[in-house]
Amino acid sequence: MSFSASFSSGLPRLLDELDISLILTTYQAGKVILISSDGESITQLLRDFDRPMGVALQGEMLALALRLNVAFFRNDQGLAERYPKRPNTYDALYFPIALNKTDFIDTHDLAFTRHGLVAVNTAYSCLVKIDAGFSFQPIWRPPFISELEASDRCHLNGMAVDDAGEIRYVTAFGATDTREGWRSNKLQGGVVIDVERNHIVAEGIGMPHSPRLYRGRLYLLSSARESLLEVDVSTGSVHTLATMDGFIRGLSFKDDHAFIGVSKLRKSHTFGDLSIVNKRIEAGVVVIDLKKGEQVADIVYGDDLQEIYDVHVLDGKRRPNILNLPMSEQYRAMLTPHGAQWVATDNEPATTDQQGVLS
């Protein structure tokens, strides 16, 4: 399936000037989407994955949260340039190199930290280290969570990591300790928790998502209030920087611009009782000028794509590619510390690129 989409006239030039591409995840459609620009038009490349959620980036490594696993990828420019399907097309190619089985823990955000790769384990209301020894290894839980149980007690979902790799803040829909207890006050029960000090630094936020530390400041999204927020962690005050229509999740930055994922909720969705479902909303990405607090560009999808979970900037990547797991079995490659190369095979690839130039 290829998704129809349109984009604002300034988006191709903006991505080109910022020297970036974007990676989006949509668990509803089971796709990872790469958005790139040549300065005049936008190209999207789609890959099939099983319920993709959070994305983490560190150097040439990328991690992706899936329904029952976390997948690891490594970018190699040489593989990109010699990609058998389309040689001399891409400047980056993320090739799958490992798969950690977690079973269903409802993984939301991911981040590379000084502890290794850490996931927000929403089902068990804790942060966990992802490694090969266990399904997950708990490393922290909110002070109000009395035990680890697969009952989504507070809807822990987001994680902010500083430049040193320290986990600083997390978001949850409520400071609750019963099975799905957050649901009763989801419009105003959201909290931001300081992980180091183990206490709540801001509260009363409607469905907080995607906390991010950027230039020493803490930003997050209030999905229920359709707002980009900045939190003063010393006072707990919350400042609205911009508002937009839609259920917003997924936040990334480059220079003075914030890239935000927008979802259109179905009435059958978990949050389908929100007033947002009665608005005419189309899923996509909006770009906010942080200095002005104004929307300066967007990409809008049609009815085939309804929900986006994560958005990340791929800095310095003009035309990236990513292979999903079945493709890596067809387009085989060997990656070592001394270089990478494609492995010859007599089998014809069973999966082709899904991509197109958008208008």
Q: How far apart are CA 163 and CA 213, in angstroms?
A: 8
Residues 98, 112 contacting (CB under 8 angstroms)? no
Split at pLDDT 50, 70, 90, the class of 168 is very high
pLDDT in tens, 308-335: 999 999 999 999 999 999 999 999 999 9
Q: How far apart are CA 301 and CA 12, in angstroms?
A: 16
Largest CA distance in the chain: 63
Split at pLDDT 50, 70, 90, the class of 350 is very low
Residue 191: pLDDT over 60: yes
Split at pLDDT 50, 70, 90, the class of 262 is very high
Residue 78: pLDDT over 80: yes
pLDDT in tens, 14-43: 999 999 999 999 999 999 999 999 999 999
Structural domain span for residue 354: 5-358
User: What local confidence, expressed as pLDDT, does residue 347 receive?
Assistant: 56
CA distances from 355 to 24, 48, 118, 129, 276 (A): 14, 12, 31, 34, 31
Q: How far apart are CA 232 and CA 57, in angstroms?
A: 26
What domain count does the chain have? Answer: 1
pLDDT in tens, 202-227: 999 999 999 999 999 999 999 999 99
CA distances from 147 to 9, 47, 61, 157 (A): 51, 37, 33, 17
Q: What is the average pLDDT score of the chain? A: 94
Number of H helices, E strands in the chain: 3, 29
CATH of residue 90: 2.120.10.80
92-101/320-322 β-pairing = parallel
Query: Three-state DSSP class for 39?
Result: coil
pTM of the complete model: 0.94
Q: How far apart are CA 59 and CA 166, in angstroms?
A: 17
Q: How many CA atoms lie within 13 A of 308 on its CB side?
A: 33
257-263/247-254 β-pairing = antiparallel
